[in-house]
Chain A
Amino acid sequence: MTPDNRAAYWRANLRLVVGCLIVWFICSYIFGVLLVDALNIVRLGGFRLGFWFAQQGSIYIFVALIFFYAWRMNKLDQKFDVHED
């Protein structure tokens, strides 16, 4: 594997990490904390939406996010041929 190739792999990894972090931040800190009062006007069944994100939704999204990251990284490993055998 050439140094250039390695740098490209690392850049692609960082892009994915930043993308995941943005989702992580939005579902917890934006929806669950900063905008909680505004979102609480909206209802989700018996929940106020902001409250739901803070006590339920953010956790579901965190779980999905890690599996998504693991899946995308595995594909990236294959693409750059750095996967383990």
Chain B
Amino acid sequence: MSLQTLTYFVVGASFVLYIAIAIWSRAHTTGDFYIAGKTVSPVANGMATAADWMSAASFISMAGLIAFLGYDGSVYLMGWTGGYVLLALFLAPYLRKFGKFTVPEFIAERYYSRTARIVAVICLIFISFTYVAGQMRGVGIVFSRFLEVDVTVGLLVGMGVVFVYAVLGGMKGITYTQVAQYCVLIFAYTVPAVFIAIQLTGNPIPQLAFGSEISGTGDSLLDKLDDIVTSLGFTQYTGGTKSTIDIFCITLALMVGTAGLPHVIVRFFTVPKVRDARVSAGYALLFIAILYTTAPAVGAMARYNLVTTIQPGEVGAADGNLVYEERPDWMRTWQQTGLLRFDDRNGDGRIQFYNDANAEFAQTAASYGWQGNELSVDNDIMVLANPEIAALPNWVIALVAAGGIAAALSTAAGLLLVISAAVSHDLVKGIFLPAISEKQELLAGRIAAAFAIMIAGYLGFDPPGWVAQVVAFAFGLAAASLFPVILLGIFVKRTNKQGAIAGMLTGLFFTYGYIEYFKGLFLKWAGAPWGENVAEHWILGISPEGIGVIGMLLNFAVAIIVSRMTAPPPERVQHMVEHIRVPRAIEG
């Protein structure tokens, strides 16, 4: 069977599986549709959360990003896992005890305010749409690369599949599909990693191979990598270039942002008990950690493979570099996609791959007769081309395609569901048409999900220029707007309506303003970005990626101070806080 037929077969089979699950677990009530009827076991919810959380970016791009960032890539590893500790300690068990359907609903009841609910819905919709646009794009790209169809066709097929199981199954359908998607994606991720680890170090466990010696030499992978990359003018792999405060703040913004993402929080509404919510966060992180501890190993091994392929001999020797005509097949294949590009600047017929932006290294490079870096490599190749680099059989390549699609679809579905719940439950039922019946609300939820899919598809088809910038924005916004007021709502009884609204708006506008000022989002027509995005101009040396931390601190400070200066929340709200703090119902 040819690779393409095989890929069609594997991807097609995975789609049949997802749709079958959706039909088996379709939603009958709003409880099913929003929170899967609170019947999901903690382990299944852990898997679903892991698939929900790990997006196309985690699956396809992260290892490549780390491969080129080295130590600086740690911000993503710690940032996108440590948030689950905050979620387990501060939010998940209490919100489960609260026992309603959505995050804005909690904010509305805790802060006895429609205004607070609307502000929360706006934050939620913005965060979720920016995110989902990237996912739909991911589906389109995986389709076009592996199945050689147009990006648009890929996008439409992806939309169709999500449509069936999100609209029909609601949260219940999504949950069990995500469990299946987790299995597909984790298998697809770890199999190539294991084979590459064996080839390079003889140790089958990537996490250990990461710290092992390279077969046939006495040197460890990381030491060897440090040597080679510094001899080519790059930063030491285990060192970094970002300032300590920036690393600190970006990591913290990603952690807090993770804990504040509505589609992640809402997953913990679906388990039967408070106790389950706590342990389910542990399972979720365990399942995530399998990928997140493999990714840096894949990154280091892929970087090593790439550099030693291009530079098989001594650095600077006339015959030290790979002859272009003798390049391996996987390079030829990926050149066709444009993700790998070669330009023989010094006309020697060999490939030079080094850091030509390093001024100190320029003289050394010139003495070798090098006239600039000749190879440009897209981060995504590090995962996508892995099976070919390791010469693995075709079924593994087909599996990686199915895994990438599973990662993108599962995240997209989770995001679309929180968007539709915010529209049908918080806006339609909660504010505009409180009199509608459950059946009508369920219909409204399905219509909202269908519309959200179409908008997401459009954003994925024609991404506005700012899609690349939005990851920082989505996390910064979640960290600066939703997380502080939910936490204060549980842990500080005195926090009132005025404090929460003032806090959310302060965090929102400060973070948005800073990112707009340095990166430009919506106000490009008015001349944004206005500031040059360099460390000298940043507040305290914190980049726009990390500024959510300051937004969060401002949110906390404003919410606490304003609450102290205004009337305490009413008796019934204080009682509700007492109620959510203990697992069992309290009397009186």
Contact = CB atoms under 8 A, between A and B. Distances in A.
B223 A69 contact: no
Interface residues of B, number: 49
Contact of B244 (A13, A33, A48): A33
A32 B74 contact: yes
A84 B244 contact: no
Interface string B561-588: 0000000000000000010011110110
**Interface-central residue, B81, B85, B275, B296, by most chain A CB under 10 Å:** B85
Interface in A43-66: 44-48, 51-52, 54-56, 58-60, 62-63, 65-66
13 contacts: A6-B581, A6-B586, A20-B89, A21-B85, A51-B74, A55-B71, A60-B293, A62-B289, A70-B281, A74-B275, A82-B583, A82-B584, A84-B583
A6 B585 CA distance: 12
A63 B211 contact: no
B85 A59 contact: no
Chain A interface size range: 35 or more
Contacts of A1: 582, 586-587
A41 B313 CA distance: 30
A33 B279 CA distance: 28
A68 B535 CA distance: 40
B582 A56 contact: no
Interface of B: 66, 71, 73-74, 77-78, 81-82, 84-85, 88-90, 93, 207, 210-213, 220-223, 238, 244, 247-248, 251-252, 273-275, 278-279, 281-282, 285-286, 289, 292-293, 296, 578, 581-584, 586-587
Contacts, number: 136
B405 to A, nearest CB: 26
B282 A55 contact: no
Contacts of A58: 77-78, 81-82
B211 A45 contact: yes
B586 A63 contact: no
A20 to B, nearest CB: 6
A17 B587 contact: no
A17 B88 CA distance: 10
Contacts of B74: 32-33, 51, 54-55
A60 B208 CA distance: 13
Contact of B238 (A48, A60, A67, A83): A48
A52 to B, nearest CB: 7
A40 B71 CA distance: 11
Given A34-B244, A34-B248, A51-B71, A69 B77 contact: no
Contacts of B78: 28, 32, 54, 58-59
B212 A46 contact: yes
Contact of B289 (A46, A60, A77): A60
Nearest to B77: A55
B84 A21 contact: no
Nearest to B76: A55
A59 B220 contact: no
A41 to B, nearest CB: 12
Nearest to A65: B85
A66 B238 contact: no
B240 to A, nearest CB: 8
B238 A56 contact: no
Contact of A59 (B77, B251, B278, B578): B77
